[in-house]
A and B are shown apart, each in its own frame.
Chain A
Amino acid sequence: MRAYKAKDDVQAKAYYTDRFYVSPQVPKQEVDTDAVFSSDLASISAKFEVKESFIQVGQMVVYINAKDIYGVLELMRDSLEYTQLSEMSAIDWLAKDNTFEIFYQMLSMNKRKRIRIKYFIDNGQAVDSVEKLFRCADWSEREMFDMFGIQANNHPFMKRILMPYDWQGHPLLKTYPLEGDEFASWYEVDKIYGKEARETIGPEIRDTARVDRYDSQRFARLGFEVPKGTNITGNEAKNEQNYQEDGGVFLVSKFDKKTSVIVDDPQR
């Protein structure tokens, strides 16, 4: 088992940092090993500043400045035949150097090539929306806002997409606890019944294997069932399990094993 550590101020610090496995880097190749990629990179770097570029697993990765993103994607879509934005999102590097890494995965069906455009932004900085270039970025940027809290400028509808509108916190941040913070754990109770219902309903029970045979509110002991809320002493009478009421109910007769036959032939 992992050693216990207090998680009181879990919102304040990234508690995953100490157990983050830093995987070895996938080998990188120079861009000029691929003719298509090197000509694409030449077209991009002719107009925009390229900070870093390499080929990894057959795909070119290009680091640019955050302010150039709309222009770079427009150039790639209109001139370089990269007509699809496969996906885009962010990577949380807040614990490392207080930045987010934003990536745009581009696909060219004609060239059969993929290029990943990347840049870094500071915490709290907004990105430029590419929704006017690629309609699919509409929902992707909303999801990025929902999960990381990164705003996209010039987006037509910058609202949460997965979590409810009145949610607090951004769940894909590495500082966000998987089981939810205080707000998340009381969300449905607060919203439906109000904060005063917290005591009545009680906190969430996260241990799904928990069984308390003396708790007749939540558990029933098979064969020894008692009405809900009864104090259990341990001397409960055994309840015989019967399938249906003796003699059946009105118009529904009780199934009688003696007057029925067992089918031996599986094909009948």
Chain B
Amino acid sequence: MAQHKVNYTQDGGLPVALTSIDKIVNWGRSNSLWAMTYGLACCGIEMMAAGASRYDFDRFGTIFRASPRQSDVMIVAGTLTKKHSEFIKRLYDQMTEPKWVISMGSCANTGGMFNTYATVQGVDRVIPVDLYLPGCAPRPETLQYGVMLLQKKIRANSANKSQKPKRLM
């Protein structure tokens, strides 16, 4: 296993680190991505597995919240039906800025194998999506990697207030 060692005496023992506002804000945002509990179908099981002890989302600072008002990222895990589409839009609107969306699995990406009248052919028809995860269902590792990519995306962007909220139209 990897040997971790934290050197508390570097920089002459000074408890000081220099950084920029952007970096410190994005560090906070990217390492405390609270996800909304949004398991719509079988992908939700993989999402739960990613959150449980074997894969353990908590160590990324990703904690599942039951309320959109407390969450930063919506992981759409599963098939979105047309009947439910208005509610996903409402929940997305209730999340506070900044917010991100991960579309998890084939069904959320494109409607997947449900080429029918009752399935929304991709959640990006309803809400703006930041990250698409392929797979049916994606393994928990895929979701972990997706969250890491999202962290990377957050760190790459400016944390400035003038950044405009995303919207479909």
Q: Do chains A and B stick together as partners?
A: yes
Q: Which A positions have Cβ atoms within 8 angstroms of B?
A: 163-164, 171, 176-181, 184-185, 187-189, 191-193, 197, 200-201, 204-206, 208, 243-245, 249-252, 255, 259-261, 263
Known A-B contacts A250-B19, A260-B3; A192 and B117 likewise in contact (beta carbons under 8 Å): no
Question: Of the candidates B3, B27, B168, which one forms a contact with A193 in the assembled complex, judged by CB atoms under 8 Å apart?
Answer: B168
Binding site secondary structure of chain A: loop
Q: A208-B106, A208-B115, A245-B152 are in contact. Are A192 and B85 (CB under 8 A)?
A: yes
A252-B6 Cα distance, complex, nearest whole Å: 11
Query: Does any Cβ of A come within 8 Å of B78's Cβ?
Result: no
- A residues in contact with B118, CB < 8 Å: 163, 171, 180, 184
Q: Are A164 and B122 touching (Cβ within 8 A)?
A: no
Distance in Å from the Cβ of B165 to the closest Cβ of chain A?
16
B-side interface size class: 20 to 34
Contact of B85 among A191, A244, A252 (CB under 8 A): A191
- B117 and A178 contact, CB distance less than 8 A: yes
B86–A191 touching, CB < 8 Å: yes
Task: Find residues 1-26 in chain B having any chain A CB closer than 8 Å to their own CB.
Answer: 1-3, 17, 19, 23-24
Among the listed B85, B106, B112, which residue makes an inter-chain contact with A188, where contact means beta carbons less than 8 Å apart? B85
Decide: A187 and B121 in contact? CB cutoff 8 A.
no
Q: Does B31 contact A (CB under 8 A)?
A: yes
Asked if residues A179 and B115 are in contact (CB atoms below 8 Å), the reply is yes
Q: List 15 A-B contacts (CB under 8 A).
A: A163-B118, A171-B117, A178-B115, A179-B116, A184-B117, A188-B126, A192-B85, A193-B169, A197-B169, A244-B152, A249-B155, A250-B17, A250-B19, A255-B2, A259-B2
- Which residues of the other chain, B, contact A250 by a CB distance below 8 angstroms? 17, 19, 23-24, 27
Q: Does B111 contact A (CB under 8 A)?
A: yes
- Nearest chain B residue, comparing its CB with the CB of A171: B117
A110 to chain B, nearest CB (A): 40
With contacts A163-B118, A192-B86, A260-B3 taken as known, whether A205 is within 8 angstroms of B23 at the C-beta atoms is no
B:77-126 near A, CB below 8 Å: 82-83, 85-86, 89, 106, 110-112, 115-118, 120-122, 125-126
Q: Are B2 and A208 in contact (CB-based, < 8 A)?
A: no
B3, closest chain A residue (CB): A259
Residues of chain A within 8 A (CB-CB) of B111 are 204, 206, 208
- Nearest chain A CB to B78's CB is how many angstroms away? 16
B117 touches A205 (CB 8 A): no
